[in-house]
């Protein structure tokens, strides 16, 4: 498993990604995020970023529990866990974590591929952040380079804002495409 995939996909290794919407405690649980946009199976998981032109891909085995909790087997690096909340129209808010730290994404079904785009605090509209901060629905540092939701609704609002306004200048993404045993190229 390459380190770039683990860095982006395994939340416990995301320490270098300050500035993304993240939390120490999960905002999603079976009561508010039990959508199942992905079938269990093996996926070609690729990560990329506008920070460089490299795209790195690896096979990842995905399982899903009855309550909508996904497990992504990252091989020697362990497991990452995910939950999805349906935003309608093939769009989702996603929580990916490792039981110590959680990051949030906007996800969309694109043909046979599922694409996840990390939510960056700086990509959220200023008026929205002001409103969420004033309501106590989000905390942020003075420069707003780090932000944390205080509830699940904030994650849904942030993902919808990325969907509606575009993911911004900087993008870090994950694509997941189902594969057969011999299809990883």
Contact criterion met (CB below 8 Å) for 59 and 184: yes
Report if residue 126 sits inside a domain. yes
Report if residue 14 sits inside a domain. yes
Report if residue 132 sits inside a domain. yes
> Which range marks the domain in which residue 91 is found?
3-178
- Residue 162 is predicted with a pLDDT of 93
Mean pLDDT in order along the chain per 10 residues (185 residues): 46 52 96 96 89 81 96 89 95 91 93 91 92 96 88 97 78 86 49
Q: Give the three-state DSSP class for 185.
A: coil
Contacts of 155 (CB under 8 A, 6+ apart): 21, 27, 28, 85, 93, 95, 104, 149
- Residue 16 is predicted with a pLDDT of 41
Read off the pTM: 0.87
Report if residue 94 sits inside a domain. yes
Report if residue 184 sits inside a domain. no
Report if residue 183 sits inside a domain. no
- Residue 9 is predicted with a pLDDT of 53
- Residue 17 is predicted with a pLDDT of 54
8-state DSSP, 18:
T
- Residue 132 is predicted with a pLDDT of 97
- Residue 185 is predicted with a pLDDT of 46
Tallying the residues shown for the chain, one arrives at: 185
Report if residue 82 sits inside a domain. yes
- Residue 133 is predicted with a pLDDT of 96
- Residue 32 is predicted with a pLDDT of 97
Q: Which residue has the tokens 């694109």?
A: 110
Report if residue 31 sits inside a domain. yes
Q: Indicate the number of domains in the chain.
A: 1
């Amino acid at each position: 498993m390459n380190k770039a995939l683990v860095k982006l996909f395994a939340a416990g290794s995301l320490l270098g990604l300050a500035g993304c919407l993240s939390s120490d405690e999960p905002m999603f649980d079976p009561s508010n995020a039990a959508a199942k946009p992905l079938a269990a199976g093996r996926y070609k998981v690729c990560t990329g970023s506008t920070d460089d032109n490299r795209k790195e891909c690896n096979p990842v085995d995905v399982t899903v529990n009855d309550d909508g909790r996904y497990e992504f087997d990252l091989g020697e690096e362990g497991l990452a866990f995910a939950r999805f909340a349906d935003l309608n129209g093939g769009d989702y808010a996603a929580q990916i974590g490792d039981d110590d730290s959680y990051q949030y994404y906007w996800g969309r079904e694109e043909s046979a591929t599922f694409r996840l785009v990390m939510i960056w605090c700086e990509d959220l509209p200023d008026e929205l952040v002001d409103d969420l901060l004033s309501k106590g629905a989000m905390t942020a540092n003075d420069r707003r380079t780090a932000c944390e939701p205080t509830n699940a609704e904030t994650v849904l609002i942030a993902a919808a804002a990325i969907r509606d306004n575009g993911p911004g200048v900087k993008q870090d993404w994950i694509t997941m495409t189902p594969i057969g045993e011999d299809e990883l190229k």
